Amino acid sequence: MEKKRVLIPGGAGYIGSHVVYTVLKTGKYNVAVVDNFHNSKPEAVRRVEQLVRDESGDACGDVELIEADLRDAAAINKVFADRPANDRIYAVILIGALKAVGESAEIPIEYYDVNVGGLLNLLTAMDKHDAKRLVYSSSATVYGAPETIPIPETTPMDPHSPYGRSKQINEMIIRDVCAAHPAWRAITLRYFNPAGAHPSGYIGEDPCGKPGNLLPLLAQMAVGKYREPGLKVFGNDYPTPDGTCVRDYIHILDLASGHLNAMVALDDDAKFVNAKNDGKYRAFNLGKGVGMSVLNMIDAMRKATGYEFPYEIVGRRPGDVPNLTADPALAEQELGFKAHHSLDEMCRDLWNWQSKNPNGYS
């Protein structure tokens, strides 16, 4: 069977590398990764290829690695244009973006340029070269500070940062494109908190600099990094069971598998009958539906790593919201998606990756 080529911008990053792995493992697709390595290294893609080959042999697809910036319209167009007729881009999974909430408030122009400008370049090339299937990486941050927990997709979007607004704007752009052109099909995936790594410890999260997210920070502290000035827990007076913020952690391989469900659903017209005026456009949460507090996660990582994380409770951090826990029912009903991995597996796999690769891919 001929394999279809899926383009994955951002495929060298944390989530992207696990999505590339998951897509290749099906044996049905080849992949093209576009990345400018702003927050990643080509080694991640090399390891994904090696891992899939070790596990599945030659039955799996191949990976083209293209160094290009999403802001470079000509380079993005070339990715679609320079291809033989039997190897056209079949679908795009857009993962590449700038993603730090705090930084986005300091350099908003860069965030809109990469995230929104990058999407527009991609949509333009997809439209021109008739590659009109898109799976888009959005975020639970589009919900802002919702009152209803767990959070259904019908919750109005109210993001609190330029980063979150770039995701909201992109969702609206993609919806408008689908509403205007019946040939377009797109599914937005609103990720909650992906964490963990492939259980081999061969690929994982390797952020440039100090991790902004709790779990990778705990993993790096456990290998001896960033122990000074100590771990700070921002606020223990939130309306949550232990007073610290609650998030919905989902194993990275579960999250990655959701992209396959979405890609398959793109070709199923029945999935779009409820999309009303949005054409063939839908948005789904990708979460586990289980809320865990900061203190729960410190304890889970203590068990996985054996390291007693000393921490200090300090004041609330601007922009943090008490609880982001997904209602995962719609993705389960309509995409057949369910997160299976446990919290212990997530922490074990994260620690396996970090302890085998204390300096990441370098």
Ligand X SMILES: NC(=O)c1ccc[n+]([C@@H]2O[C@H](COP(=O)([O-])OP(=O)(O)OC[C@H]3O[C@@H](n4cnc5c(N)ncnc54)[C@H](O)[C@@H]3O)[C@@H](O)[C@H]2O)c1
Residues that bind ligand X (CB under 6 A): 9-10, 12-16, 35-40, 69-71, 95-99, 114, 118, 137, 139, 191, 193-194, 213
Q: Which position has the token pair 């609650």?
A: 246
With respect to ligand X, which residue has the nearer C-beta, 166 or 272? 166
Token pair listed for 249: 């952690």
For residue 158, the Cα-to-chain-centroid distance in whole angstroms is 20
Token pair listed for 326: 């997904």
Backbone angles phi, psi at 269, to 5 degrees: -55, -30
The minimum distance between CB 113 and ligand X, in angstroms, equals: 8
Backbone angles phi, psi at 356, to 5 degrees: -80, -25
For residue 329, the Cα-to-chain-centroid distance in whole angstroms is 19
Strand ranges (E), 143-222: 185-191, 193-195
Report the DSSP beta bridge partners of residue 35.
67
Asked whether the bond before 310 is cis by omega within 30 degrees of 0, the reply is no
Q: Which of 154-193 are b and which e, b meaning 16 or more Cβ less than 10 Å from the residue's Cβ?
A: ebebebbbbbbbbbbbbbebbbebbbeeeebbbbbbbbbb
Strands 246-251 and 291-293: antiparallel
C-beta neighbour count of 306 within 10 angstroms: 9
CB–CB of 271/347 below 8 Å? no
Token pair listed for 118: 């990058």
Which residues, including other chains, have CB under 8 Å from residue 144's CB and lie 6 or more apart? 157, 158, 159, 160, 164, 321
In the residue annotation, 163 being an active-site residue is answered as yes
Chain residue whose CB lies nearest ligand X: 13
d(CA 291, CA 209): 27
Token pair listed for 160: 């609190």
> Of these residues, 29, 112, 136, 163, which one is catalytic?
163
Active site residues: 163
